[in-house]
Structure 1
Amino acid sequence: MRQLRTEMVDRLAVLVASESAPGSLPHLESCADLLAGWGEEAMGRPAQRVVIDGLPHLLWPAARQRVLLLGHFDTVFPVGTTRSRPFQVRNGIATGPGVCDMKGGIVQMLTALRLIEDTSAVGLLLTCDEETGSGTSRPLIEREARRSGAVLVGEAATPDGSVKVARKGGSVYRLTVRGRAAHAGTEPHRGVNATVEVAHQVLTLRALDSAARTGTSVTPTLLSAGTTTNTVPERASVAVDVRAWTGAELDRVDRAIRGLVPVLPDATLAVEGGVNRYPMSPTLAQPLLEVAQRVAEQLGIPTLAGAHAAGASDGNFTAALGVPTLDGLGAVGGGAHTPEEYVELDRMPERTALLAGIVSQLSIMERVGSPAASSAP
């Protein structure tokens, strides 16, 4: 893998330059074309391009799928970001939009697959809508997970190199308030101020947050209201992001949000959204972590730890089905979704070798935790 480091960095530069903004079909299709070629080289078989609502997902299924590698090639950055912030390497650190989340992980996955002698028991799925909630790809992810013995997710490791054995679940809501418009200068009393009502709701939402006690966060985010500066707002809306370590907490907040009522007379309140991903349990990851730790020891990699991550991924979906899932097997880096996003290039060879070893182990196991896992491949 050390001999392939330069090639991996070159491929990462190409992949980052191939922008894949959410919902931008020409760019997603172009990036899919690039990855389809690399994936065919790595897997020894062509991709199935699964197009759902126009979005191109790439699938390499295995007839007897013992392990599924899962990733996404969309990023959160709008088209044109690479012009102002292109891929750069300084002192062994790569930066650029999507370099860590998760194009570095994709390069490592495809390179790891090239090291595996037999990929006939290995499936690979690369989706293009994870950053917007996996609305079209979720059924595909769940279908492929159900026919797999284990799922390995190529999202980034933690900055210290830990893999991810647990993730918070998440919910997304939009609260829409309807009031009544009026002239703000001459007849404000005739109106029902949607901005004031949504402010009441924001304060109520904050009271649902129990981050200090249970780790559950309820965060009002995107807010909009009004039309002109001299009109009592008729409409206002607020988006709400909820994260929790347990399904019970997500359900508690869900019930509370659906039970919200207007404070102002004659105002109305509508709630859209709900639970998007239930939490990823460490119980399902533990057997896979043990396999990963044995491989790491054989490769001379320092102690490999399992971390709990506050963010969600498509691994939440597969774990919710009861399929053993280990996340954070991608690049070592940080700063996802920010201009400071980075990857440690010197760690790409070891992480790629680690992934190749884990896949090789799982490929010869009848099930996770079987005796075959006790010896090196």
Structure 2
Amino acid sequence: MSRHLAMRRAAQSGADAMVERLRELVSYESPPGDRRRLAACAELLAGWGEAVLGRPPRRIVHDGLPHLLWPATDQTVLLLAHFDTVWPAHTIESWPFQVTGAVATGPGVCDMKAGIVQMLAALGLLADTSRVGLLLTCDEESGSGTSRSLIEEQARRSGAVLVGEPSTPEGHLKVARKGGSVYRLTAHGRAAHAGVEPHRGVNATVEAAHQVLALAALGGASGAGAPAGTTVTPTLLAAGTTTNTVPESASLAVDVRAWTRAELDRVDAAIRALAPRTPGATLSVDGGVNRYPMSPDVALPLLELAQAAAKDLGLTPPDGVPAPGASDANFTAALGVPTLDGLGGVGGGAHARGEYVDVGLMPDRTALLAALIERLLAEPVPGPGR
């Protein structure tokens, strides 16, 4: 039996164990910012990771948020994943983990707990993990505020970064991602009695409404020179204090996505140049570019290796596609470090109640990841981290 066939069969023999491990991991809810639940989930993963890597993790806590790092001395490959999900505590009570046929559902099952289970199983298939680092963070869904520097530090000392975010529902890997920006625009007005003398006030809600329309004009084909695909989306909106008071303040959150660095910079400049439309109102802007786009040039060499590894295993080589969402791969790619994303579970519906993963494909995707790591250990891809 060939080594690759043996690797694939070993992964298949662990299929049931992977499903049970996924069930347990999903049961450990890990909402953004929930320090107690994130810590409990981290402890579970710390034990699993130590068992397969033979070394304990470094527990890195920032603002009470626990990240787990297993660094390698000569780090040829970094495996990167996050264990926080978008789901609030107690979601599991109304939406428990469930498997129907080959499809598993549950909060965070696809984004991205299946990817973590597959990563750990892939490490267990390798004869030598001494040059493989593993980083599991817990704040990706809230912007990676406390983990970004750690991610970038580990990427710089790595030859390649493999990210366990889910693939597309068709099983395609992700070779490009939009960049993203986050803003909070605040309109400042003047309070007054809404019924007795509204004319003495400066209505911040009205000013915010003007700005919503101005922001909408910055994205897509409607913006001045904006290419299709650039989105500028007003999201959270809050204003006022009581129903009979002219609002003196209104705040508006804005989500921006674009395929190029130049587009993010263009929208950033436009947002900072917004002018108030309501007499007497003023504006302030907080936030900015959160992560620049992931360019295909850092991913395509790794995609070729993944496709070759798939052939070795007797699998159909995966395609590489752009993905509109952002991930921590954006950070590592922006450093020029070879990065390939979408190596996690095959599924879809992320951030929705229909979130699912195909557990029948988990063994083959695990074998693919293990075979890709082996190739990188044998022939590292040149990059700034080496």
Provide TM-score, normalisation by structure 2. Answer: 0.94
The equivalent of 1:73 in structure 2 is 83
Instruction: Select which of 72, 80, 86 maps to 2:96.
Output: 86
Distance in 1 (CA, whole Å) between partners of 2:281 and 2:52 is 58
The equivalent of 2:8 in structure 1 is none
CA contact (8 A) 2:306 2:317 kept: no
CA contact (8 A) 1:225 1:235 kept: yes
The range that moved more, 300-309 or 320-329, is 300-309
Provide the identity percentage: 68
The range that moved more, 195-204 or 208-217, is 208-217
Classify the secondary structure of the residue corresponding to 1:185. Answer: coil
Task: State the one-letter code of the partner of 1:131.
Answer: E
Do residues 317 (structure 1) and 327 (structure 2) align? no
Structure 1 position 340, deviation (Å): 0.6
Classify the secondary structure of the residue corresponding to 1:108. Answer: helix
CA contact (8 A) 1:159 1:332 kept: yes
Distance in 2 (CA, whole Å) between partners of 1:326 and 1:211 is 30
Structure 1 position 188, deviation (Å): 1.1
Task: State the one-letter code of the partner of 1:154.
Answer: G
Q: Deviations over 1:171-225 (max 9, x none)?
A: 0000011111111111111111111000000100000012583310000000111
Do residues 151 (structure 1) and 161 (structure 2) align? yes
Do residues 336 (structure 1) and 346 (structure 2) align? no
The equivalent of 1:223 in structure 2 is 237
* 1:191-340 correspondence runs (5 A): 191-210=201-220, 213-340=227-354
CA contact (8 A) 2:308 2:317 kept: no
- CA gap of 1:211–1:105, structure 2 versus 1, over 3 A, is farther
Structure 1 position 303, deviation (Å): 3.1
Distance in 2 (CA, whole Å) between partners of 1:237 and 1:348 is 44
Q: Deviations over 1:246-281 (max 9, x none)?
A: 000000000000111111111111100000000000
Distance in 1 (CA, whole Å) between partners of 2:99 and 2:74 is 40
Structure 1 position 234, deviation (Å): 1.0
Q: Deviations over 1:1-34 (max 9, x none)?
A: 1110100000000000001111111101100000
Distance in 2 (CA, whole Å) between partners of 1:320 and 1:304 is 24
* 1:6-25 correspondence runs (5 A): 6-25=16-35
Structure 1 position 366, deviation (Å): 3.8
Distance in 1 (CA, whole Å) between partners of 2:103 and 2:63 is 37
CA contact (8 A) 2:83 2:136 kept: yes
Structure 1 position 367, deviation (Å): 3.1
* 1:112-191 correspondence runs (5 A): 112-191=122-201
CA contact (8 A) 2:65 2:138 kept: yes
Q: Deviations over 1:7-65 (max 9, x none)?
A: 00000000000011111111011000000000011111111111112111000000000
Task: State the one-letter code of the partner of 1:163.
Answer: L
Task: State the one-letter code of the partner of 1:289.
Answer: L
Structure 1 position 238, deviation (Å): 0.6
Structure 1 position 80, deviation (Å): 0.6
Alignment length (residue pairs) = 369
Distance in 1 (CA, whole Å) between partners of 2:135 and 2:15 is 24
Provide TM-score, normalisation by structure 1. Answer: 0.96
Classify the secondary structure of the residue corresponding to 2:299. Answer: helix
CA contact (8 A) 2:345 2:365 kept: yes
Distance in 2 (CA, whole Å) between partners of 1:43 and 1:363 is 16
CA contact (8 A) 1:362 1:368 kept: no
Distance in 1 (CA, whole Å) between partners of 2:12 and 2:310 is 16
Distance in 1 (CA, whole Å) between partners of 2:342 and 2:214 is 35
Distance in 2 (CA, whole Å) between partners of 1:110 and 1:366 is 21
Structure 1 position 368, deviation (Å): 4.3
The equivalent of 1:372 in structure 2 is none
Task: State the one-letter code of the partner of 2:131.
Answer: A
Please list every run of 5 or more consecutive structure 2 residues that lacks an aligned counterpart in the other structure.
1-10
Distance in 2 (CA, whole Å) between partners of 1:99 and 1:43 is 23
CA contact (8 A) 1:211 1:217 kept: no
The range that moved more, 317-326 or 205-214, is 205-214
Q: Deviations over 1:99-152 (max 9, x none)?
A: 000000000000000000000110000000000000010000000000000000
Task: State the one-letter code of the partner of 1:286.
Answer: L
CA contact (8 A) 1:88 1:95 kept: yes
Task: State the one-letter code of the partner of 1:51.
Answer: V
Please list every run of 5 or more consecutive structure 1 residues that lacks an aligned counterpart in the other structure.
370-377
CA contact (8 A) 2:236 2:252 kept: yes
Task: State the one-letter code of the partner of 2:247.
Answer: P
